């Protein structure tokens, strides 16, 4: 069985946001694999620590230092100083994630959750495709 849905996530401020519950409510009660795909080039997805919010703060701090808006060599800045840096961060983290499910329940590790990584200074509504492959 293959199932596919497009959902919209509300706009969020720049940063790393847990969206696990927003994603799993759309997963059918099957056993298989889930692919979650971000339809944007300035936001990304990753799976990481879901308990301590300082992990998400540290991610944001690190990525802003690693890919700084203060650099002067970026040419692609049509939408602001966060334009090219958002694309770079998205390429580093990736636009999709995969994880196994059993009877519709994600088989995450104890402390894992799904992050929406919003790289733009002004967050936007984000479209995500959730595709599940498996058997009932």
pLDDT at 35: 98
Q: Which residues pair with 36 in a beta bridge?
A: 97, 130
- For the entire predicted model, the pTM comes to 0.96
Please state the domain count of the chain. Answer: 1
Tokens of 24: 């799993």
pLDDT digits (tens, 9 = 90+) for 49-97: 999 999 999 999 999 999 999 999 999 999 999 999 999 999 999 999 9
Tell which residue, 36, 44, 37, has the closest CA to residue 89.
44
Percent of the chain with pLDDT over 70: 100
State the CATH number of the domain containing residue 8.
2.60.120.460
Region 86-114: mean pLDDT is: 98
pLDDT at 16: 98
pLDDT at 76: 97
Range of the domain at 37: 2-135
């Amino acid at each position: 069985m293959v199932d596919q849905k497009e959902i919209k996530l509300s706009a969020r401020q720049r940063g790393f946001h847990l969206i696990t519950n927003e994603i799993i409510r759309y997963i059918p009660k099957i056993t298989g694999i889930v692919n979650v795909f971000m339809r944007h080039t300035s936001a990304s997805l990753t799976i990481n620590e879901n308990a301590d919010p300082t992990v998400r703060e540290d991610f944001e701090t690190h990525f802003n230092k690693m890919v700084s808006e203060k650099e002067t060599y970026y040419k692609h800045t049509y939408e602001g100083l966060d334009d090219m840096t958002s694309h770079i961060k998205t390429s580093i983290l990736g636009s999709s994630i995969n994880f196994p499910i059993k009877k519709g329940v994600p088989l995450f590790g104890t402390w894992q959750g799904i992050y929406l990584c919003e790289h733009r200074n002004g967050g936007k509504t984000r479209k995500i495709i959730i595709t599940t492959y498996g058997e009932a």
